[in-house]
Amino acid sequence: MKASKYRVNTRVQRFFLFPIIFLALILSSFYTKNPENRNDGKFTVVLDAGHGGHDPGNMGNGYLEKQIALNIVLKAGSILEKNPNIKVIYTRKDDTFVDLYERGQIANKANADLFVSVHCDSHTSNAHGAGTFVLGLHANKQNFEIAKKENSVIYLEDNYKSKYADYDINSPESVIGLTIMQEEFLDQSIALAKAIQDNFTKKLKRTDRKVKQAGFIVLHQTVMPSVLVETGFLTNKEEGAYLNSKRGQSEMGTSIAEAILTYKENIRANIADFDTSIIASTPEPEPIEEKKEQPKPEPVAAPKKETVSQKIKDEPIVAKTTEVPAEPKKEAIQIIEEAKGNDQDVAVKKETPPEPQKTAPSVSKETTVAPAEKKSDVVYKVQIMASAKNLPLRPESFNGLNRVAKEPYKGLYRYVYGSTPSLEEAKMLKSNADLKGYTTSYIVAYRNGERIPFKDSLK
């Protein structure tokens, strides 16, 4: 009898003990993420030299990316280590192979304040310049291909199928899930990326390939502000030689270290530049000839005439999405019509309520999308964001936009604005979304209620 009573008491103790332990773990996690709450009080930076060991990285012009990246990282680290308030951790300090998953875990276990991964790029012999990436959706095929090259290293890892079971490097949609955990650090990541790019372009006069977003697995693994730096193209004869030289590696490493110091001081002074609009939204045209001494910024196409379907998805706080075929979501799509007066459609004159025949704003037509789409075969909408949050379909939830639908997709919600069979009207919808603050929204296409690649809608 006593034994039975003891067991009951033990169960009761466990019942109350587990929630307490769980709560303590949560609170301790928030506590340790604050640098000022750590025992050493130091600002912790994890420097990650890409590739290594049996993974050489790209070998443009016979150079080894793994060694160049390591030398740049060691230079940056040597500068940062001189600051007594900074703790530097390396994912590797020699020619060893480290799994992508483990690189992120090193940073997480260290409660790092920053994670910086360094790489070298490859493309055509004319391509040149340095760019810095934050985690997000691929704005265009060029960014997607860069991420694919870096992510392909997972196939060199043991048990990669079990580690990355839900990730397909050939699927842009896979990145949606990756962005959710990192979205809260997007602003800080962009601030660091901008500081790095400023040093590359203003101090070293390198060609600016800008701050961009792409789905790098190594960035997804971290839970702190993180960037991936593509220091230049080894496939470019001049730039490859520069990056392979002691001078080039020293200058690039110094620029990265100084950018980290700038970021640290700006964060301390609360003046960090959290401007998400600096992210490049279009691919850079490849230059015809290279001018290393005085490189010119590569031209960016006007956003209203080109790449309206490729606008980058960089809204902070919410996960982003990209345009890929999706299963029909007719029954799940909801549209709101209330508070029309709050939606001041400055740029979109044709989609105002008085003209329902062009934009089909009425609830009866839009709650089931199929009728409007059957009429014109293809309809266009503007995706303003994607999020794991089920937001109420009210104008105040979307900066005053009053014709927003939500489409459940793989555990997320894609929020789209408007609906029209006319691409020109879709462009005006896009302009209106820009005016409402959704400057990184983009046009998506549907056929018979099913999402299709934008290019297919033009056929």
What pLDDT score was predicted for residue 376? Answer: 53
* CA atoms of 71 and 270, how far apart (whole Å): 32
DSSP H/E element including 107:
helix 100-109
- Range scoring the smallest mean pLDDT among 204-208, 246-250, 362-366: 362-366
434-456 mean pLDDT = 84
Give the C-alpha separation, 169 to 174, whole Å.
7
Sorting pLDDT into bands at 50, 70 and 90, what band is 10?
very low
From the options 3.30.70.1070, 3.20.20.70, 3.40.47.10, 3.40.50.620, give the CATH code of 330-457: 3.30.70.1070
Residue 4 has pLDDT above 70, yes or no: no
- Structure confidence at residue 88 (pLDDT): 98
CATH superfamily, domain 34-278, is: Zn-dependent exopeptidases (3.40.630.40)
> Looking at this protein, which amino acid is placed at residue 138?
H
pLDDT band at 235 (very low <50, low <70, confident <90, very high): very high
User: What tens digit of pLDDT does each residue of 76-111 get?
Assistant: 999 999 999 999 999 999 999 998 778 888 998 999
State the Cα–Cα distance between residues 117 and 106, nearest whole angstrom.
12
Q: Name beta bridge partners: 119.
A: 230
pLDDT of the residue at 377: 83
Indicate the helix (H) or strand (E) that contains 356. helix 356-359
Q: Where on the phi/psi map is residue 52: left (φ > 0), alpha (ψ -120 to 50), or beta?
A: left
Mean pLDDT for 193-204 is: 96
**Lowest mean pLDDT segment, chosen from 187-196, 247-256, 331-340, 440-449:** 331-340
Query: What is the layout of strands, in order, in the sheet containing 43-49?
Result: 86-90, 43-49, 114-121, 226-233, 130-135, 208-214
The overall average pLDDT reported for the chain is: 70
- Beta strand spans in 105-199 (E): 114-121, 130-135
User: Measuring CA to CA, which residue among 109, 174, 61, 139 is closest to residue 312?
Assistant: 139
Q: What is the DSSP letter of 217?
A: H
Say yes or no to pLDDT of 325 above 80. no
Q: Which carries the bigger pLDDT value, residue 193 or residue 2?
A: 193
Cα radius of gyration rounded to whole Å, the chain: 25
Q: Are strands 86-90 and 43-49 parallel, antiparallel or unpaired?
A: parallel
CB 438 within 8 A of CB 399: yes
Q: Where are the domains of the chain?
A: 1-32, 34-278, 330-457
Q: Predicted confidence band at 294 (pLDDT cuts at 50, 70, 90)? A: very low
Tokens of 25: 């773990």
Cα 39 to chain centroid, rounded: 32
Residue type, 43: F
Side chain identity at 158, as an amino acid letter? D
Smallest CA-to-CA distance from 297 within 128, 143, 123, 126 is with: 128
Q: Please say whether the dihedral angle defined by the alpha carbons of residues 137, 140, 143 and 148, taken in this order, is positive or negative.
A: positive
Distance CA 197, CA 180 (A): 25
Per CATH, 34-278 and 330-457 having the same topology is answered: no
Of 441, 438, 434, 405, nearest to 307 (Cα)? 441
